[in-house]
Structure 1
Amino acid sequence: MNQTQLNRMKDGLGFIAALDQSGGSSPKALARYGIKEDSWKDEDEMFDLMHAMRTRMIKSPSFNADRILAAILFEQTMDRTIDGLYTADYLWEKEGIVPILKVDKGLAPLEDGVQLMKPIPDLQKTLDHAKERHIFGTKMRSVIKEANPEGIKKIVDQQFEIGKQIAAAGLVPILEPEVDIRIPDKEKAEELLLKDIEENLKKLPADTKLMFKLSIPTKPGFYSELMKDPHIVRVVALSGGYSREEANQMLSQNSGLIASFSRALSEGLNVAQSEEEFDQTLADSIESIYQASIK
């Protein structure tokens, strides 16, 4: 584990840029960027277009360590390059931004009101490769669709079980048990989630470090005590389908909670924009998310 990166993640001012759109979410991300689905023949061409979009964002003047602590990458991005450097090395060496890797393989079918993660085959091989590519940590997502105690317990147990394997490999896992923002019993689901998280934290070895990526809570300040747990490096928030304006407004009511936005970060970007227009749109987005993250 890189101690400099750990200190930055724990104490730095800023937020995490989520650039980890995978095969399932890339078409929608490209469509929002102005690239229609008939613009590529196969998955390889689609991922080429996604890497070009990510590269354009990363190389934008405003995408730097002044506002951004870390960036979450899709697995293919880890083996692609920017200006001759592997993406993680470019982020850290050129920009001072900590590289993080998405490791989950998507969601299982809905059961007990939740979607667990699908199995992650060859996880250890992926973690070993991530260390070769100088990745600091990982991220993995599951989703809560209702306040079902049995389902939520299964999600938290699965997240912690895999998280412990990742931590043992020398990486810092981000556990992401997302609560769907549209469900009517969201606040109850958050209460059940927090209870199960706290119970699992008590069982961890003292030296295990991890992070959480959670939906912005219904009740402001709901995760304030969680942030004080000695195992936790940082608690970050996903935008979850809120517009950037909505997400920023809610985030600013939660002191200590910082953003890890994907769609809200890239909102307004378009492939047809001039470099000046693109850079200004991204700069405005980054500044607004940064300000919401430091309140």
Structure 2
Amino acid sequence: MNMEQVQRMRQGKGFIAALDQSGGSTPKALAGYGIEKDQYKDEKEMFDLVHAMRTRVMTSPAFSSDYILAAILFQQTMEREVEGLPTADYLWQKKGIIPILKVDKGLAEEKNGVQLMKPIDNLDEILEKAKSYNIFGTKMRSVIKKADEEGIREVVAQQFEIGKRILEKGLFPIIEPEVDIRSSDKKESEAILKREILAHLDKLPEDEMVMLKLSIPEEDGFYTELIEHPRVMRVVALSGGYSREESVALLKRHPGLIASFSRALLEGLNHTYSDVRFNSTLERSVKEIYEASIV
């Protein structure tokens, strides 16, 4: 356990950059960057292009520990290099940014108004590899679409069950039960979700902590109880389909909640930009998200 990283994650100012688009979401991420599907011929070229995009982001002067606490990586990104170093080592040694790994395998079909995670059959293997690459923590996503008590209870139980296995390996899990921002009963889902999360947090041993990644709630300050909970290292917010402007405006209404944005962070970047334009565009984005995260 790296105590410097623990301290920074618990008390540092800034936000978490989500650079963990997987195979299914990579084409959309590349299209947002100005690279359409007809510009690469296969999956290998696609992943090479997205790594080049992420490398340009991570090596930009705008991608700084002055504003960014941590970055969430896709497994292939962890296994690749940036400027001659494994990505996680580059982030921590050169940038002072904590590396986190996405470990889920995607979502199961909807049942009881939710999508659980697909089974992670090789979780132990992934976690051992993460430790060998000097990863600090993990992230895994489920989705809640309706205020169904049974479904939400299943989502939270699955998240904490896997979270405990991650903690046993000496890594810190980000529990991410996303509530769909388009849900007609989002506020009701959030009430059930908070109750279930608190029940699981209260059962954790005193020496264990998790992070939470949640949709920005409808009610201002609704997750303050989670933010202040002694078993919670940090509560971060996903953008969930909101634009950066919308995400930043909403986040400012929730003191103590910090950003963990993906699309909202990369919004406006294009592979054709000069370094000057690329870096200045990213800098504006980083600073806007940072300011909303330190309210």
Which residue number corresponds to residue 158 of structure 2? 158
Aligned counterpart, 2:197: 197
Residue number in structure 2 paired with 1:238: 238
Query: 1: distance between equivalents of 2:6 and 2:38?
Result: 42
2:104 pairs with 1:104 = yes
How far apart, in 2, do the equivalents of 1:275 and 1:83 lie? 17
Give me the whole-angstrom Cα distance separating, in 2, the residues matched to 1:294 and 1:229.
19
Aligned length: 295
Note the alpha carbon deviations across 1:216-239, whole angstroms, 9 max, x for none: 000010000111111100000000
Partner residue in 1 for 2:19: 19
Provide the secondary structure at the position in 2 that maps to 1:225.
Answer: helix
Matched, 1:139 2:139: yes
Report the CA distance between 1:121 and its aligned residue. Answer: 1.5
What letter is aligned with 2:248? Answer: N
Deviation at 1:294, TM superposition (A): 0.3
Q: Which residue number corresponds to residue 247 of structure 1?
A: 247
Match of 1:66 in 2: 66
Q: TM-score, normalised by structure 1?
A: 0.99
**Are positions 1:123 and 2:118 aligned together?**
no
Moved more, 175-184 or 201-210: 201-210
How large is the RMSD of aligned CA atoms in angstroms? 0.5
Task: Say whether residues 1:281 and 2:263 are aligned partners.
Answer: no
CA distance in 2, matches of 1:124, 1:205: 21
2: distance between equivalents of 1:266 and 1:228?
30
Which string of whole-angstrom CA distances, capped at 9 and with x for unpartnered residues, describes residues 257-290 of structure 1?
A: 0000000000000011111111010000000000
Partner of 1:2: 2
Q: 1: CA distance between counterparts of 2:249 and 2:220?
A: 11
Residue identity in the other structure for 1:225: E
Q: Which residue of 2 aligns with 1:266?
A: 266
1:85-100 correspondence to structure 2 within 5 Å: 85-100=85-100
Could you tell me how far apart the structure 1 residues matched to 2:229 and 2:161 are? 18
Could you tell me which residue of structure 1 aligns to residue 171 of structure 2? Answer: 171
Corresponding residue of 2:257? 257
The amino acid that maps onto 2:15 is F
Counterparts of 1:65 and 1:187, CA distance in 2:
34
Gaps of 5+ in 2: none
Query: Taking every aligned residue pair, what percent have the same amino acid on both sides?
Result: 62
CA distance in structure 2 between the aligned counterparts of 1:162 and 1:206, rounded to whole angstroms: 18
Could you list the structure 1 runs, at least 4 aligned residues long, displaced by more than 3 angstroms after superposition: none
Deviations 1:160-212 (A, max 9, x none): 00000001100000000000001110000000000000111121111111100
